[in-house]
Structure 1
Amino acid sequence: MIMNFWFSAALLILAAIALAVAPLLVKRRKSSGVSAQETNIEEFQEQLKELEAQLERGVVTSSVAAEMRAELEKKLLDDVPEAERKSGRSFDSRSFDSRPGIAMSVALLLLIPLLALPLYWKLGAQTELQVAEALAEPELNADSLLETLENWQQRKPDSPQALYLLGGRYLALGRMSDSEQAYRRFYQLTDSDQGAAQLAQVLYLKNSNQFDREIGQLLHEALTRNEFNTTALGMQGIAAFEQKDYAGAMALWDKALSVETDPVARESLLTGINQAKKMLGEPMPGVRVMVSLSPELQSLPGNTRVMVFARAKEGRMPLAVKPVLVSELPREVVLDDSTAMMMGGNKLSETALLDVVATISLSGDVTNPDYKGEVKSVRLESAEVVELLIRPAG
């Protein structure tokens, strides 16, 4: 990426030089190359056109026009040698003095790159390119990423992007004080909900997972700015759970789950919701499924993976999934929110009718299984066990 940048920069500098120098040379040639002869001819042609127009309008007679034309031609022949003597050129010369234009061109040729590179180094995005390159391959650049971020922040101490990334990096390394400092400055600069939420999170971790007044105030400010800030909702849910307000915790985590797309965060939210339901003594809606193989599939290798899942009736995306092995069949599995997929906002517990499916794909292509079992229109509230028999697909 860096090499590509410098190659592109070189092309742009060359283009800038060409755009700056070419007009000087062209202008110089035009200004020096337009001879006295050409100027006098243009004047002669204009005067001749005016004479012809006067003849057509009857302002002058044809005899007078002929005399005036002869006079103009004589004047043209007289003016050319005089102009040539003043300019020091012969009538047919096409040469021109390009020394001033060449001097200016050479000056620009040197000054443009000499000025452009220091200015870019001071004002440009060279460090940002290095950061982007390091972030693109975090495993390969883990050691240099922190140094790159710190260099970026030193060059641009009030860059929100640099502070935010640096705060996250410090947090991942367990440097809580440094992370707090970066996020606090980020929040001061942006006054954003994300700034308040991230600062609250690092303070909570720094404080041995204990809430205090500042953390509570920051979470309040984050949710005031954005009621769907998932970090703040998640932490508010934790606070409610610790105070044994399980219904309140569930409501906060459900709200966060409705907009959260990160798989790890969704899994954490679902775990918290299920734990809160258990504490409330609420049964978790789900589907019990008995999965078995047809006789002709009994010879499949025991380590073959079977995907058992439920999706909304006539839907495409699974709402919950449970992987098992052929060697474990026949087996009963339970599909509920604890086995929910980590993508999308829908939950199995909120879906009335389900299609329950089990597939085996020897090629690994889950969209084109070799063997399949399916039962459609299963009601979530049904207490019956769904029987799934896996047969050859097609």
Structure 2
Amino acid sequence: MTVFWIAAAALLVLALLLVLPPLLRLRSTAPTAQPVGEAGKAPDARRANLAILRDQLAQLDAELAADSVTPDQHRLSRSEIERRVLDEEAVAEGPRRAGSARSTALVLGTLIPLFALGVYVARGNPAGLDPSATQARAEPSGEVSMAQMEEAVEKLAKKLEGQTAPQPGDAQGWAMLGRSYAFMQRFPEASRAYGRAIALEPKNPQLLADQADVLAALQGQQLAGEPMRLIDQALQIDPNHPKALALAGSAAFERKEFAAAVALWTQARQFVPADSEFAKALDGSMAEAKSAMSAAVGGGVTVAAADAAMAQAGAGVGKEATPGTSASASAATTAVAQAKDGSSGSAAAAPAARLSGRVTLAPALAARAAPTDTVFIFARAADGPRMPLAILKRTVADLPISFTLDDSMAMSPQMKLSNFPLVVVGARVSKSGNAMPQAGDLQGQATPAKLGSSGIELVIDAVQP
């Protein structure tokens, strides 16, 4: 034991002789005080700022992918964000250079105590080590606390509000501030930030949709009123904007227009990554709406039949007037409401309430269709709702197809061929098998025909844009 203590004392003295003089020299040459400012910014605060800047970059790239911003706006905003990142890195560089001057002394000061610790572990009692000391020296986890995030957000707000004139990228800065406030559930501040962003970019559908979302949160998650006005405005600018379509679907669901909600959500689903959380949320919402639609229909039309009618009616969603209140979505809702009065195929066909003819595929498009692709043949009123009055499902392998459409193929007794004197027959080839038209589908349409017409020649000769 005596030998151990002598060796430990000798090693301790040697360690102190090596470590203390360099540290004392550094202390004597260092300035006695550091000015408070960017150079004195806490590492955690810098990490918070960098985290927010990374989020802004990711959001900016997502908006470019969704065509919410132009490439020029994206390039300008990205340059501004990268400049801010460089500013943060420059602030952190000073302390790193100061620390490198002591690296040699710290290495020596670490190795010698470790050697002494090795002797103690080999010759002494390791159980006597106090783990609390090691835990106290443990490095921080690197996670940004809510307080640090709030501090970074407040700094960004002060910077934006302190500018005497708008600067390039300010709209994205206000948008990022709005998203940060919304994440912290500070919805009044989020709404004000989005308002400043919209004032700079009034034609940005993403900003309009984000503002509508925040305003809905302020009025108990209700989209009626100003939120719906902003949603309609966003869809007038971009009829296929995913978030605006999703919010319009939620508004339709609030009004118990379940078919219209599914039509809008289905369209939004086409413009988001299939494996994204957004897509999963849309799928869940559509399942809920279809369940509610089935309960509303009761014993009438099956959900599958209602889906087909809703999807055909939804072909114009996002392309006619205001998608949130379009005639297409309204027609889908009407189809389900009318379906309560009877079931599909329940009405007998009147002798003259039929159409017949033949569908062919244009040779120029033959290479774009596979034998297993689905072919929908349907009739719609020439002047009336877009919901199909009769629908027939086949495959490309069956082409050319001789068809007959009559009242037995109606979706409901109130929406059938015999109720309309003039109809239009159309056909569409779908690779997905989905009744909702999609870009790339092949389609064709005949001229309006009277009930009882035969020999209708329908050629599929166009591509869905």
Q: Same fold (TM over 0.5)?
A: no
Q: TM-score, normalised by structure 2?
A: 0.32
Q: TM-score, normalised by structure 1?
A: 0.37
